[in-house]
Structure 1
Amino acid sequence: MVARVTPVTTHVPVATEASVQEHVAAFAATARAAERVLILRAQSSWSGPTSIVAAGRTIRIVEGVSQLAILDELYSLEPEELLAVVTPLTEDELGSAILLQAYHQRITRLDVWNLVPGLFGVRSQDVDPALRAIGQNWLPEALLRYQPATRWPKQTGRPLSTGVVIRLLLAEILGISLLEEIDAARVLEQLERPDARTRWRELDEPTREGLTTAAGKVLGGHVVLALRAAASDNPISIAAIGLVADVLWPAGGRSSLQGEALAARVRLEKLLGPNIEERDARALADASIAAGLRREALGDDGFEHILDQAEALAKDLGWEAGAAQSRFTRAGMFARLGEVGRAIKAWLAGAADAAALAESAVRNLSGHAFAARYASEVFAAQMAVRLMRWMSVEVKAPASLDETLTAYVHDTGWADRALSATWVGSSVAETAVAYEALVERARDRRDREDAAAAALVTGETHAGTVIPVEQLLERVVVPLSTRVQSLIILIDGMSIATATEIAQDAQQAGWVEVLPDGHPRRLVALAALPSLTRFSRTSFFAGALCAGDQTTEKAKFAERVGGVAFHKDDLRAAGGHELPRSVVDAINDGKRKIVGVVLNTIDDALAKHDPGGTRWNLAAVQHLRALLDAAALAGRAVVLTSDHGHVIERGGEYRPIAGGSGGARWRTVDSGALAKDEIVVMGSRVLSPEGRAILAVDERLRYMPKAAGYHGGASLAELTVPVIVLRNARGGEIPGWPDAVPQTPTWWNESATVGAAPAPTKAARRPARRVTEQTPAMFDIEVGGEHESSLSSRLVASDLYRSQKTRAGRHALSDEVVTRAIDVLHTQGGRAHRDAFGAGLGIATTAIDQTLAALRRLLNVEGYDVISLDRDGVTILLDVDLLREQFKVR
């Protein structure tokens, strides 16, 4: 019986299966014929396989408890077999009989760190010295244990950095392809997968803790937080945790948390670990936000689950209010909507600061990450604030029908657009209630304006700046066609409110609004009476007052101006074509000056759809975009117009016509006595039977069964006809038709200081307001004043300004333009929307960017931005303090 030797095993490592197999494989591949045994110095406690096959040879693996036991194993080897011995014995204890047959004739120390260079195909001196410090005892074993079947990617010819090793090991454990870029974002994304989290949780604790610490050093402390959360049994999304961290650790440390919020931070340590650093929590929040938005953009259904989990986590942490503060949760979106509603309610109640709060609330809402997802809610809120601005403007009542219709086109029609959008409402109860009160207050004002306008309406021929619809050909279309071939697009039923939106969309699509010389604002037209298609549209195409149908219109149009007109049935194209060949050929016909097309989308919607809830852009009106494209290719100008407007069904009185005839918004004079919400008209422009008619004034009144909308009455929305003339931006300017200044009212884009809401009134309807025509001089400031003008006048008198202007040479802006620009910006508190800026300077929309660029070259000295553009891309900023400092202006 052989005596067992019990050697001292201090500092002798434990042989792991992975490390032994790696050594044995290298031995089998490189051993010489005389080298039949691999001596691995380790504790003699081997529980792995008794043999393995490597390099085509079988290697028997045994514990070496004594010299004789090892010799017995050697003598019993088959000719092609090799032997690997795990033993704590020293070289003296083994003896020369064994060492002469040993690999390299010595004991191989079982230091797995020695294997690391070979795993990556590098030399020992090419390994980052920091790798051993960060990897301690767990890293080499982990590299061996989790080495992929294809082995680790070779790093031959370059240093083996700590970052490369940690990234590759983490990726392999989490199931990320080693061919991918392995960064923090990719790791966080992978940790959303249940299988990756399962693999992570199943790691032995030393490896998981070591790799967590190492990943933090390589990828950032926020990855440590994510890996700690993934190691727990809680399946909550890492991104959801990050969304909650966003409100617990606000960006920039804007607020100090107290109470429930502070307690929630402490409770979150159960998931993320103790002593959370603010920078790490903030980084986790930012990464989670970016990942969430990316998933939403890709249409990932899992994103909804993340939002639900974030709100649930805030509640579990005892801080349900936290989800409502988030920029990245539905609760946060609805909370912001609630803020808008409360501010509007306060404004309606007369609170002095409520207007500013409402403006701020809408900016806060628009800045929410899901503003695009809830676009209709954000749009309604923006329009509600615009409606507040409009209601706060103090102006005089118009004295004539010309002034009334002009004010409607340039101001109140825009308010109608805002009112329609606000009417659509909100899904948040308190905001919906506020909107309801707001639109009712606005409708009260609009009712009084309609009543005042109706009192000025007659049936006689109109003489003034407003163009009767029957004179549009003579006064607009024909003069334009002497300069350029024209395409008339008459959108039946298009009101001023819808026209403003369509025109804005056309300009964004590359069209430029033009106006005849001497007209700083859009032209205004008046419908025939009653405001019906068979009267107004026919009169337009005929160039004279008459009633008729499509056949009449085509014949009269050809007779009057030599034009060809296409109606609804003429626009039915063959499969695969947007427009029929006949329409395209007419538009391309260089000998035909005028072509007309009627689009019925809006008029059809009044009977079949909901025009109040429709966003009227180019895509919403069938054939409109295709017609504009065809006109652009043919080099034609476009006249966008209508025959009449419309009112929308919003609830009101159904008053059936008794014993007479008429339509939805008008009736014959023999059908009953005149009521206070009606007017009677008579004269040459009244085309109903006998040249007389009773027209409904109140938009709530109808004489026919309910539909989506109506026309034929005497409200401003029905009577006023939009006239918008466009040229394509790729074409040249039209002689006699200069590019227009921005046409939006100032209040549309500018959050000007507004006071409390005007009190509702139930007094008799009377002229309520007058909006004076906004000309390019609407920002005129008296020269020599003490405030606004002094800054600009002292600027142009400064030495540095003169020097800058000399450098600019002949391309420099005039002092007058610079003075006005500074005045516009200064009076607006150092910021103005580009449209207000352009209108204030009296320059066309097409010249704003060029003027702004020249102004910046002149005033932005040495790269300091006296004039800049805000992040929204449309707000121009003036840094007054910097201007004073740069140009030495007091």
Structure 2
Amino acid sequence: MSTRLQVRQRDIDEKIDYLVRKNYRDAVIVLHTDQAWTGPGEYEHPTGDRVAVTEACTPLALRFALTRIPRQDPAVPWNVVLTPLGDADLPADVRDRLHPYHDVQVVDPTRSLLSAFSATSVLPGVIAPADIPATLAFLDTAGGVIIPAPAGRLSADHLSAQVLVSGLGWASSGIEVSGQFGLADVLRWSATSDAAERWTRFLAEVPPAVQETALSWLGRALGAGSAAALRYLRRHGPVSMFAWGLACEVLSVDPTADAEEAAVRQNATIAFKVTTKTGTPTAGELTGWSTAAVSAAGQAPDSAVRTAEQLITAEDQLDAAALLHRSSVCPGGFAARIERLAVALEAATSGATASAYAALDYAKAHREASSTGGSGRNRDIAGAVATLRLRQFLGSAEDPAAVTGTGDGAGLAGWLHLQRTSRSWADLCVNAAWQGQTSSALQQVTRRMAEHARTRLGEGDRAFAAEASVAGASRALAGSALLVEDVLDRIVKPLLVTGKSVNPVLLLVLDGMSTAAANHLLGSVRSTYYGRWHEMATENEDLATALAIYPTVTTKSRASLLSGRPAVGGQDVENRGFAEWYAGATKGLSGAGTATLFHKGDLTGGAETDRTEETVTHAVEDVSGHPLVGAVLNTIDDALDKSDPLDRQWSVGDITHLHVLLQAAARAGRTVVLVSDHGHIVDRGVAGKSSRGGNSARWRHADVDVLERGQVVDGEVVVDGDRVLTDDHRAVLAVDEDLRYTARKAGYHGGLTLAEASIPVIVLSQEPAQLVARTAATLPLVELDDDLRHPDWWELRADFASVTSAAAGVPGASAPAPAKPEPQGTLFDTGVDVASPATTTTVFAGLESNDGFRQRVKEARVIRLDAAGVADVLRTIASHSNRMTKAEVAPLLGVSRIRQGGALTELKRIINVDGVAVFDLDGRDVTLNSELLIQQFGLKRGK
């Protein structure tokens, strides 16, 4: 008689079913078990009759239970008493009360097994009858849910899976063997707090034959790659099983390793075999174990990862500290990879740049690379990425060489364009490279690159200041450059007024937002409102960046922005000027309503005002009463005093009220204009305070003699003109980034660097096609292609080559030889001469006369070249090994930067007949399959 079998409700139902078939309508049965009853004290049988279940552990308790049955009200026909007592323990009077059986009944093990698995049969050889009670008892006490046997037939595989899943607690660890199941799941379980205890119970309570069957099934389920890990599990249990898996990662063979590292790996492999006692693991077994461990690492406790690092480095374990860099999970592995990255970046100073890119990829492949601090990024990786990007920036056509015009302001517009499309991104890279990294070696090389770039950017600032101190100081000399006081007239009014109609616009002034800060913010807008807000720009992007008024401070530049004319003052001046401008812009238009402008106090509310965020939202949604709503958001400007903008990546959530206002504008169908009043520079800890003193951090009155207007004196420039809003229309503005006149703060503005004087102007629309059609006559707009978000040098490429055409793509710029900077050492020397092969008409001969090709070119809308012109573009691409950058191809097609995406898409349509991929886009490159092109149009092969 087995005492370990637990009686289940199904066991009782089967006894009753048997008696019902024998025409019994009631019974009092005693069932033998020493396991506690886990079911209800009373339940309804499928026949509708009630069943009462009672436990009685002693003869006295059994007699008492039987005496209560006649007194049941209402009567229960089926009564079952569970007891550990045997037949010899039952007195005669007790036996007399039982019927139809007068002895203790037992549950058949096989029937109990079937009951446990809701099965009707057991396949041969699944389990020995003698092993059933212990196995079921183990499952009963494990607390897991037993999955019914498929199709009612219990197999050895199903039994094994349930013994492990339910018995070892895999289900509570989220492991489902019927779905995606692998060694990583087992390793994740092995690192849980109760894994060792459950394994001990498994070994102690499950019959050996059942254990072996279960583990054999597990080996088959996980595959050959798990063999070494399972040998470890059999010998040691789950303790440190996950950690040893992580340790296996450093034992893989690396063909690129030097002799010393190879020797360390060989010794560590021997130590692994001796320590784990798993035999000689194959390469596949080590890979399988390590791959699974790495996959499970994201859900493993940190203590297990620390154990793995100790196993790798401890002298009494693997003694393989030299191999720690191979670990993609252990924190020490990331530190080792960063040190290697620092060495590779340093080596790149002599031209070995490919190794630096490879070392960066190696570091980024580590788990720690994605762990972030408060800035939302890993500073080590961010600094290295910024360093390589700055290398590419300094070697590109967008290197800040002098952008000069002819004295009519053409160069001024070019500088603003260059700042917005390239230099502002370089500013971000300098910030990231400047940050303190965890590795002092990495910090040294990134800081040197940042200094190198700052010098070059500083030279650009001086060249810009020389131009802007004259052209930007006088409205008559500004040329085509967009001025801050003209933003309302040139941008907002065309969006607001169409004929005699007034369209709703929301003007958001983000005080102090630089072009660099706008780069981050626009990325956040795209990701936060994916596909909802579309950035619009003019064909040549000449209205995407405005020039601040001088000095570049809030009381002058913001007042001028919101008044639509040069103005000085605070909120009262801005409110009055905004209302007057709106009245003039909508004069004579019916239903124009009024414009309303909100400042910081209006948005936050308080005891002194009842204008809260809800009130502002209501105004934004009131498109008929307030077609034009303006709001000043001060978060960025405030941060220059209170936080560290050097490491700040501005997002929608960072700017107080911005999300709420954009949501309200979306509901109201408003076009949104994001604009600043001036930019800013950040303090890098090296700025010195000038003894001259000043009216603000970056400007002072021109109260000293200056030999020549515009001459730079100690990093300053004198400005003189009607756009200089001082009493005498003169001022001295700081140009060198490290010059300040007041106490140290996190950031500054007021001077004449491009970062301070450039103002981003961003137009956002939910209906770009409708906006383009509506403003075609007054403000021709196109939707800005996402590919143009970053400059061409931004994407990291080991094969990045310098382009010699200085100032390429800058409106109004000529291309003089850039002035040579002072020697800055050899850090990432990018002086590479690129020879462009001459094109020849023998390549693709006859293409321009092909009827099909000519017709497809004729149908083009963006590309204005004829068939011969397009054919020459293809020949040029072919002469460059069939690959060029998009930025190089766009000018060949005669389109502006903003039309680049549409032109390349159109070129694909022209060439790729019937979907054949002759011409394709690959990241920032275009590729051409010359052989397919020849076949496509039936051309002769030229020599």
Smaller-chain TM-score range?
0.7 to 0.9
Q: Residue 676 of structure 1 aligns with which residue? A: 714
**Structure 1 counterpart of 2:344, one-letter code:** A
1:398 and 2:403 equivalent? yes
Alignment match, 1:6: none
- Rounded Cα–Cα distance in structure 2 between residues aligned with 1:773 and 1:392: 17
C-alpha change, 1:228 and 1:830, in structure 2 (3 Å) is farther
Contact 2:191 2:304 in 1 (8 A): no
Give 2:586's aligned residue.
Answer: none
Q: CA RMSD in A?
A: 5.4
> In the alignment, is residue 289 of structure 1 matched against residue 294 of structure 2?
yes
What one-letter code is carried by the residue in structure 2 that aligns with 1:376? Answer: N
CA distance in 2, matches of 1:212, 1:570: 70
State the AA in 2 paired with 1:468: L
1:296-307 residue pairs with structure 2 within 5 A? Answer: 303-307=301-305
1:819–1:383 Cα change, 3 Å = farther
Partner of 1:471: 486
Confirm or deny that 1:362 pairs with 2:338. no
Shift of 1:431: 1.3
Matched, 1:243 2:246: yes
Q: Which runs of 5+ in 1 are unaligned?
A: 1-14, 33-50, 62-72, 82-102, 104-110, 296-301, 759-767
Match of 2:839 in 1: 785
2:540 matched residue in structure 1: 519
**What's the offset of the Cα at 1:165?**
1.0
Give yes or no for the alignment of 1:376 onto 2:397.
Answer: no
Partner secondary structure for residue 290 of structure 1: helix
Equivalent position SS for 2:674: strand
Paired residue for 2:562? 541
The 1:55/1:524 distance shift into structure 2, 3 A limit, reads closer
Residue 68 (structure 1) aligns with: none
Q: Give the direction of change, closer, same or farther, for the CA distance of 1:444–1:544 in structure 2 (3 Å limit).
A: same
Instruction: Note the C-alpha offset of 1:790.
Output: 5.1
Q: Distance in 2 between matches of 1:58 and 1:490?
A: 83
Is the CA contact (8 Å cut-off) linking 1:471 and 1:544 kept in structure 2?
A: yes
C-alpha displacement of 1:649: 1.0
Contact in 1 for aligned 2:911/2:918 (Cα 8 Å): no
- For residues 452-531 of structure 1, the aligned pairs below 5 Å read 452-456=463-467, 457-458=469-470, 459-461=473-475, 462-483=477-498, 484-508=503-527, 509=529, 510-516=532-538, 518-520=539-541, 523-531=544-552
Which SS does the other structure have where 1:515 is aligned? strand
Q: 1:668 to 1:875 in 2, by over 3 A?
A: closer
Say whether the 8 Å CA contact 1:243–1:310 is kept in structure 2. Answer: yes
Between the aligned partners of 2:793 and 2:186, the Cα distance in structure 1 is 49
CA separation of 1:142 and 1:192: change in aligned 2, threshold 3 A? farther
User: Could you tell me whether the CA contact under 8 Å between 1:380 and 1:421 is conserved in 2?
Assistant: yes
Q: Write the distance in 2 (CA, Å) between the matches of 1:58 and 1:535.
A: 94
Tell me how many residue pairs correspond in the alignment: 786
Pair 1:333 & 2:334 matched: yes
* Partner SS state of residue 214, structure 1: helix
Mapped to 2, the partners of 1:162 and 1:668 lie a distance apart of 92
**Given residue 782 of structure 2, which amino acid in structure 1 is its aligned partner?**
P
Contact 1:813–1:855 (8 Å) recurs in 2: no
Q: Report the more deviating stretch, 700-709 or 581-590.
A: 581-590
CA pair 583-79 structure 1, distance change in 2 beyond 3 A: closer
Aligned CA distance change for structure 1 residues 163 and 853 (closer, same or farther; 3 Å): farther
Q: Which residue of 2 aligns with 1:763?
A: none
* Residue number among 391, 396, 412 corresponding to 2:423 in the alignment: 412
Corresponding position: 1:173 with 2:175: no
**Per the alignment, do residues 554 and 345 of structure 1 end up closer, same or farther by CA in structure 2, a change over 3 Å counting?**
same
In 2, distance between residues paired with 1:649 and 1:170?
61
Letter in 1 for 2:534: V
Q: Go from structure 1 to structure 2 and tell me whether the alpha carbon gap of 1:170 and 1:620 turns closer, same or farther (over 3 Å shift).
A: same
Alignment of 1:663-812 (within 5 A): 663-670=696-703, 675-729=713-767, 732-735=770-773, 736=776, 737-741=781-785, 742-749=788-795, 751=797, 753-754=799-800, 770=807, 772-773=809-810, 785-786=839-840
Aligned letter for 2:601?
D
Q: Find the counterpart in structure 2 of residue 352 from structure 1.
A: 351
Q: Is the 8 A contact 1:166 1:218 kept in 2?
A: no
Q: CA deviation at 1:701?
A: 0.7
Q: CA deviation at 1:853?
A: 11
For 2:504, the aligned partner's letter is Q
Deviation at 1:442, TM superposition (A): 0.7
User: Is the alpha carbon distance of 1:880 and 1:427 closer, same or farther for their aligned partners in structure 2, counting shifts above 3 Å?
Assistant: farther
Q: How far has the Cα of 1:289 moved from its partner?
A: 3.0
- Report deviation, 1:226: 4.1
Indicate conservation of the 8 Å contact 1:831/1:875, yes or no.
Answer: no
Residue of structure 2 equivalent to 1:98? none
State the secondary structure of the residue aligned to 1:310.
Answer: helix
Map of 1:613-652 to 2, 5 A cutoff? 613-652=647-686
**Are the equivalent residues in 1 in contact too, given 2:862–2:903 (CA < 8 A)?**
no
Separation in 2, partners of 1:218, 1:546: 77
1:551 aligned to which of 562, 572, 575: 572
Task: Tell me: CA distance 1:352–1:538, structure 2 relative to 1, closer, same or farther (3 Å).
Answer: same
Structure 2 counterpart of 1:319 = 320
Letter in 2 for 1:320: A
Contact 1:812 1:854 in 2 (8 A): no
Distance 1:503 1:80, change over 3 A: closer
Q: Match for residue 50 of structure 2?
A: none
Distance 1:512 1:310, change over 3 A: same
User: What's the secondary structure of 2:403's corresponding residue?
Assistant: coil
Residues 704-731 of structure 1 show CA distances to partners (whole Å, capped at 9, x for unaligned) of: 0111111111212112222222212587
* Cα distance change of structure 1 residues 572 and 520 upon mapping to structure 2, 3 Å threshold: closer
CA contact 1:573–1:580 (8 Å) conserved in 2: no
SS at 2:672's partner residue? Answer: strand
SS across alignment from 1:689 = coil
Equivalents in 1 of 2:880, 2:140: separation in Å? 65
Q: Deviations over 1:649-678 (max 9, x none)?
A: 1133533555x7521111122368783311
Question: What is the distance in 1 between the residues matched to 2:424 and 2:480?
Answer: 18
Deviating more after overlay: 240-249 vs 554-563: 240-249
Amino acid at match of 2:810: E
The alignment partner of 1:146 has SS state of helix
Give the direction of change, closer, same or farther, for the CA distance of 1:704–1:242 in structure 2 (3 Å limit). Answer: same
SS in 1 for 2:750: coil
1:264 match: 268
> Structure 1 CA distance, aligned partners of 2:6 and 2:566?
103
SS of residue in 2 equivalent to 1:597:
strand
Whole-Å Cα distance in 2 between the matches of residues 645 and 696 of structure 1?
14
1:238-259 per-residue CA deviation (whole Å, 9 max, x = no partner) reads 3333323344347999999942
How far is the alpha carbon of 1:193 from its aligned partner?
Answer: 2.9
Q: Which residue of 2 aligns with 1:765?
A: none
Give the deviation of 1:513 after TM superposition. Answer: 1.9
Taking structure 1 as the reference length, the TM-score comes to 0.74
Task: Determine the C-alpha separation between the residues in 2 that align with 1:243 and 1:882.
Answer: 48
* Secondary structure of residue in 2 paired with 1:693: strand
- In 1, Cα distance between equivalents of 2:137 and 2:131: 10
The change in CA–CA distance for 1:860 and 1:614 in structure 2 (over 3 A counts) is farther
CA 1:565–1:147 in 2, change beyond 3 Å: closer, same or farther? closer
1:792/1:823 contact within 8 Å kept: no
CA shift for structure 1 position 55: 7.9
Paired residues of 1:601 and 1:621 also in contact (CA < 8 A)? yes
Aligned counterparts of 1:827 and 1:439: Cα–Cα separation in 2: 36
The 8 Å contact of residues 515 and 739 in structure 1, kept in 2 or not, is answered as yes
Aligned 8 A contact 1:454 1:714 in 2: yes
* Deviations 1:448-498 (CA, angstroms, capped at 9, x unpaired): 111222222223223312122222222222223224432221211111211
Corresponding letter in the other structure for 2:391: M
Deviation at 1:522, TM superposition (A): 5.1
User: How big is the shift at 1:345?
Assistant: 2.2
Matched to 2:839, the amino acid is G
Contact 1:654–1:701, Cα closer than 8 Å, also in 2? yes
Per-residue deviation, residues 114-152 of structure 1 (Å, max 9, x unmatched):
9966764656xx5445x55xx799975763563426996
Report the Cα offset of residue 844 of structure 1.
9.3
Trace 1:821-836 onto structure 2 (pairs within 5 A): none
CA contact (8 A) 1:236 1:309 kept: no
Correspondence for 2:439: 428
